[in-house]
């Protein structure tokens, strides 16, 4: 099948076609030709207003629910949401019931590989049932297709467990993740410990809870070696700690959730549980440090930290509500309000290598793995724009910039 993409501006700083307006001819999923004007018979022609094309986007932390929590999100609709949001590659967290802590569970997730064109990369649980007690079958899961190991929002409470995990995973080049929170300090807090939590009477989670855990983890990493990824950092001190660790030569990476670059804890004034996330929304000074960290490379990647939560667990009293917000649908439009389009695309196409995932290439003869979008035009994100089954988005009513048209990957075209 031949597909002709007309008058598309390429956004890929590594390509010789960067910022050029070209036609792209695809034949059975491969790039057959790129040129200023291609005249040929095609089975389908794609033309959009102000069409831009980049390499397919990657998200390192996506949660759905199935199997076990289908009321939050099914795999089918979740993957469709990712595709229509511009993502051709996603790392899917083991927040399932039962927890994805064995090779059979990983193979089940891998069976959805390529649906709607999206490459699904399972993240295996680091410990059995994500209880932070005993290591799970890491090697078996790696062989089944797991790209990393994480208990997601469950911190590794036993430092010796992290030590053993980092030592063991080195035998097969495994990537260990450690959520940055010391629960003995965070306890049952629901908001950043500061002026607003005190004013609203909410139990606070101090920045110290994150920074203390990161400090511990970095000391262990320095001792053991290995590969460590710290997901969704949220404080200025965390950025500083990781910057210093990289200067030491430690094999450390980290990510930041996109909503942490946009919203502060001031948003909690109306007790809207959509703004209840983990880690909690912090302060303006933290946002400035996180953005600086992305610009100077201290923070390696952004993530939507997409976490669907059904209405029964969100539309309740703030302190009883579950943590999490969806973010796939709003990722591009939110980042595009902070950074230039070129920087936004750079951030959305970073991170694959850390997870052992081959990054696509925009060259003739290569498999096509594209995101199609318009970088211009502002709009207000509304509930009816949500594709996810769960509607817990903190971006409802927020102004975004740009529009995603869809993706082409794995020889499949999925349009918004």
**What residues are labeled active site?**
305
Nearest CA to 235 out of 155, 292, 307, 151 is that of 292
Helices (H) and strands (E) in the chain, counts: 12, 18
Sign, Cα dihedral of 396, 397, 399, 403? positive
Q: How does DSSP classify residue 269?
A: G
Residue 409 and residue 355: Cα distance in Å, rounded? 19
E strand or H helix at 32: strand 30-35
Q: What's the longest Cα–Cα distance across the chain?
A: 66
Is the separation of the CB atoms in 137 and 101 below 8 Å?
yes
Is the separation of the CB atoms in 397 and 381 below 8 Å?
yes
Sign, Cα dihedral of 150, 151, 156, 162? negative
DSSP, residue by residue, 186-252: HTT--EESSHHHHHHTPPEE-HHHHHHHHHHHHHHHHHH-SEEEE----SHHHHHHHHHHHHTT--E
Nearest CA to 359 out of 29, 92, 107, 14 is that of 14
Q: Is 7 left (phi over 0), alpha (psi -120 to 50) or beta?
A: left
Sign, Cα dihedral of 296, 297, 298, 301? positive
């Amino acid at each position: 099948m031949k597909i002709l993409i007309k008058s598309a501006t390429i956004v890929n700083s590594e390509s010789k076609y960067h910022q050029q307006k070209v036609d792209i001819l695809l034949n059975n999923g491969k790039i057959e030709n790129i040129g200023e004007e291609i005249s040929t018979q095609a089975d389908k022609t794609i033309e959009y207003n102000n069409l831009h094309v980049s390499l397919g986007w990657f998200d390192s932390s996506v949660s759905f629910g199935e199997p076990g929590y289908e009321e939050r999100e099914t795999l089918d609709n979740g993957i469709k949401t990712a595709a229509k949001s511009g993502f051709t590659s996603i790392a899917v967290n083991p927040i399932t019931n039962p927890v994805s802590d064995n090779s059979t569970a990983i193979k089940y997730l891998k069976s959805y590989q390529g649906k709607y064109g999206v490459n699904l990369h399972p993240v295996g649980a680091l410990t059995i049932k994500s209880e932070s007690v005993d290591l799970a079958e890491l090697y078996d899961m790696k062989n089944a297709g797991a790209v990393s190991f994480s208990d997601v929002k469950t911190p590794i409470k036993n430092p010796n467990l992290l030590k053993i995990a980092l030592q063991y995973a080195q035998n097969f080049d495994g990537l260990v993740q450690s959520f940055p929170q010391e629960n003995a300090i965070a306890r049952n807090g629901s908001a950043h410990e500061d002026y607003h939590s005190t004013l609203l009477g909410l139990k606070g989670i101090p920045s110290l809870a994150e920074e203390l855990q990161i400090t511990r983890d970095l000391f262990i990493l320095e001792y053991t070696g290995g590969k460590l990824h710290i997901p969704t950092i949220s404080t200025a001190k965390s950025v500083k700690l990781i910057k210093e660790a990289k200067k030491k030569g430690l094999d450390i990476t980290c990510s930041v959730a996109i909503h942490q670059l946009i919203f502060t804890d001031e948003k909690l004034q109306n007790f809207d549980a959509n703004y209840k996330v983990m880690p909690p929304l912090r302060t303006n000074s933290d946002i400035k440090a996180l953005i600086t960290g992305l610009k100077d490379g201290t923070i390696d990647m952004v993530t939507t930290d997409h976490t669907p939560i059904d209405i029964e667990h969100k539309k309740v009293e703030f302190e009883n509500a579950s943590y999490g917000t969806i973010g796939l649908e709003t990722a591009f439009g939110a980042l595009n309000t902070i950074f230039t389009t070129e920087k936004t695309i750079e951030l959305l196409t970073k991170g694959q290598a850390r997870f052992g995932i081959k990054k696509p290439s925009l060259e003739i003869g290569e498999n096509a793995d594209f995101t199609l979008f318009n970088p211009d035009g502002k709009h207000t994100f509304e509930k009816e724009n949500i594709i996810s089954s769960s509607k817990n988005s903190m971006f409802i009513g927020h102004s975004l910039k740009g529009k995603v048209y869809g993706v082409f990957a794995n020889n499949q075209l999925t349009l918004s």
